[in-house]
Structure 1
Amino acid sequence: MRQLNIAIIGQGRSGRDIHGAFFNSDANGGRFKVVAAADEIAERRQRAETEYGSDCAVYSDWRSIFDRRDIDLVINSTFSYEHYPVTLEILERGFNVVTEKPAAMRADEVRRLIAKAAEKGVMYNVFQQSRFTPYFDQVKKVIASGVLGRIIEIDISFDGFSRRWDWQTLQCMGGGSLYNTGPHPLDQALNLLDMYDVMPGEGLNVFCRMDRVNTWGDAEDYVKLILTAKDKPLIDLMISSCNPYPCFTYRIQGQYGGLKGSMAEMEWKWYDPAEAPAQKLIREPLASEEGMPKYCGETLKWHSDSWSGSGSAAFNSAVDRYYTMIYEHLVNGAPLEIHAGQVVQQIAVIEEAHRQNPLSVDFMLPEAEE
């Protein structure tokens, strides 16, 4: 089995705690080996030497990896606002790249990265692993089964109550709930719509309201995003740090029933039209046998089903499936189920949402303040 050599830029919450943790886990199965790690913080470099082993070189400057010829894949886990320029430079040097979300701050930047990867003959992909979570698989299975009939509305909620004061609350660093949390549920939403070539204002309608509530920065921590398109269900996406009573991750309304559930469990119910009482339109006022006014009423035979999983296991299995996809593509030429072209639409939606909600910029990058 061929082993791919990995370089990770950034050893923070994503670079170490997600990507690095996977490469060091049994799930890796020997397919990947971290041979280089870069971070400006000395303590993180020292930890990387210990955790990845003696074969891993550490660098304070990520550009040092350009001197190597043994790296098969670079993971870009820099600050959000750096994703585009860092990825562009890596691609220019002829390396395959997986970049953390958000892919970029602008849709045109994603397009330029796709073009650069094609020019250099390398792979460019975005870490949208939530597409592979078991709970999202289950949502798609229920919809595809047809038991709910035509889907009318899909509500997706990534919410809770929290206060935040780190760099991801700053607009100048690419922060805010929509750019940071948003790429996960928004990727799922756009996958359900399955019309990736349609941009906002060209057949994809976007309505958004944002607010800043429990943040010490200047970026949003409340997002209500509604997507509509011809012959598609309405999608209501909520990302909020202001909800102490989160109820569901998914709630679906359909022609014959619906679904509700979290990342760990779901239930859905439906009726079979073939089993339902025959009805016809009655124009005259409805009356009971006694001649009293009455409402429509009937007894439907409901069917139900459920699913249960594990929230933490869902995350880990999604990362495994994502990197299995990457491995099979780089080693065996298998097609990518998730590809960067799909992410262009996502970033375009985020851009439109911010256009509708211009927030004051109260902080700048340190070098800009000097």
Structure 2
Amino acid sequence: MKINCAFAGFGKSATRYHLPYVLQRRDTFQVKTIFDITRRPDIEKEEAYQGIRFTSDLNDILHDESITLVTLCTPPQTHYDLAKRCLEHGKNVIVEKPFTRTLAEAQSLFALAAEKGLTVTPYQNRRFDSCFLAVKKVIDSGVLGKIVEFESHFDYFRPDAPDAPADYTHGAFYGLGVHLVDQVVSLFGRPDLVHYDIRSVRNKNNPDDTFELQLYYGETKAMVKCSHLVMQPYPKFILHGEKGSFIKLNIDQQETWLKAGNLPGTPDFGQETEYGVLKYIDDSGQTITEHVDAGNGDYGRVYDAVYATICQGHAPYVPAADVMTTMEILHRAFEQPAPVLIRLR
């Protein structure tokens, strides 16, 4: 069975992080239509997009009964309304991050999808980063014993920040924090307490560009951090347990390859540049040092998972409870000034 799908939005999100992977999956997906308000004929003519219909009328997607999946790659403020319209017209939906602007909007979409017997899911592609998969592999192995501390970074050195005023959904926390929080939730579940430190450091006219969250799970603490003023980066992941530690220096390489114009399916696409180092004491008391290879990342696994849900009845790759927890953590960050410690409801 092949899914006829469509895209709303034809910017960097669609052309870099979605379409290169979907177009590699021609046995399971057929991209039929792309909706874009601002048409770009020069890009539409590229070989990769031949056979795809481009339109500036969303109704060309909504009223096409052969299209059963729509991916939304539009600005955050449009996600809820567009996802609702797609669901109302019988379409399954993938929504780029952030899933919605508010917790209530997320609840409404899941309720509507359940009523219609459809799937609506966020595009949490960072669940398929090679660096994160290495962390998950180590935790699942159990060799570190009880996890005491988890730390994740998403840093840049971009000191210039021209005026770009916007609301909080355009800041670093909603844009990048959504990935980091989702990763933590996928590993540890719903935290008891969350401490927020969210700031606009480079330009006070702009939304936040720096954040640090501490999420508390009993005796386990998870920290996620982002800054645009880090010239010498931290390790991407730091993991400490009762029996040892795991350090992963570099982030997944897919984005680097995509920016360079390389496509999934080419030899060594997204090849790791270093493997995380795991050091622990085994059951015999020996100190073991290992390099952890979890394989290369693949954002296309989001589409494989969605295919399995729609066509084979598998559970969604991101459970609704995880989505709601992540959205609650995002949304509650801006109910009061930071820094602040809150208990999840």
Using the size of structure 2 for normalisation, the TM-score is 0.84
Distance 1:238 1:173, change over 3 A: closer
Q: CA deviation at 1:145?
A: 2.0
Aligned equivalent of 1:237 = 224
User: Deviation digits for residues 220-259 of structure 1, max 9, x if unmatched?
Assistant: 010011100225x101110111111112111011111111
Matched, 1:191 2:186: yes
Q: Aligned equivalents of 1:70 and 1:217: distance in 2?
A: 46
**Counterpart of 2:300 in 1: which secondary structure?**
helix
Structure label with greater radius of gyration: 1
CA distance in 2, matches of 1:243, 1:156: 14
**SS of 1:8's equivalent?**
strand
* 2:215 counterpart of 1:227: yes
Which SS does the other structure have where 1:214 is aligned?
A: coil
CA distance in 1 between partners of 2:173 and 2:27 (Å): 35
8 Å Cα contact 2:173-2:198 kept in structure 1: no
What is the match of residue 255 of structure 1?
242
Q: How does 1:128-147 map to 2 (within 5 A)?
A: 128-147=124-143
What amino acid maps onto 1:77 in structure 2?
C
Residues 53-72 of structure 1 deviation map (CA, whole Å, 9 limit, x = unaligned): 45322111324322211112
Whole-Å separation in 2 of the counterparts to 1:179 and 1:166: 19
- What RMSD, in angstroms, separates the aligned Cα atoms of the two structures? 2.4
Matching residue's letter, 2:280: W
Specify the alignment match of 1:10 in structure 2.
9
Instruction: Note the alpha carbon deviations across 1:241-279, whole angstroms, 9 max, x for none.
Output: 11111121110111111111133420011123643xxxx
The CA distance in 2 between the partners of 1:47 and 1:181, in whole Å, is: 27
SS at 2:131's partner residue?
helix
Q: Kindly, what percent of the aligned residue pairs are identical?
A: 25
Moved more, 218-227 or 62-71: 62-71
Following superposition, the deviation at residue 308 of structure 1 comes to 4.5
Q: Which residue number in structure 2 is paired with residue 40 of structure 1?
A: 37
Which 5+ residue runs of structure 2 have no aligned equivalent?
A: 252-271, 340-345
Match of 1:268 in 2: 278
> In the TM superposition, what are the counterparts of 1:88-237 in structure 2 within 5 Å?
88-163=84-159, 170-172=165-167, 174-195=169-190, 204-215=192-203, 218-231=206-219, 233-237=220-224
Structure 1 residue 23: Cα displacement: 2.2
**What 5-or-longer segments of structure 1 have no aligned partner?**
196-202, 276-300, 360-370
Tell me how far apart the structure 1 counterparts of residues 338 and 243 of structure 2 sit (CA, whole Å).
Answer: 40
Residue 30 (structure 1) shift = 2.6
Cα distance change on mapping 1:216 and 1:5 into 2, 3 Å? farther
Does the CA-based 8 Å contact 1:5-1:72 persist in structure 2?
yes
| Equivalenced residues, count | 316
Shift of 1:157: 0.7
**Aligned AA (1:22):** Y
Aligned to 2:21: 22
Moved beyond 4 Å, runs of 4+ = 51-54, 163-167
Q: Deviations over 1:105-153 (max 9, x none)?
A: 1112111100011111211111112112332222122122222121111
Counterpart of 2:206, as a letter, is: D
Structure 2 vs 1, CA of residues 62 and 341 (structure 1 numbering), >3 Å: closer, same or farther?
Answer: farther
- Offset of residue 355 of structure 1: 2.6
Is contact 2:306–2:317 with CA below 8 Å preserved after alignment? no
Aligned residue identity for 1:305: E
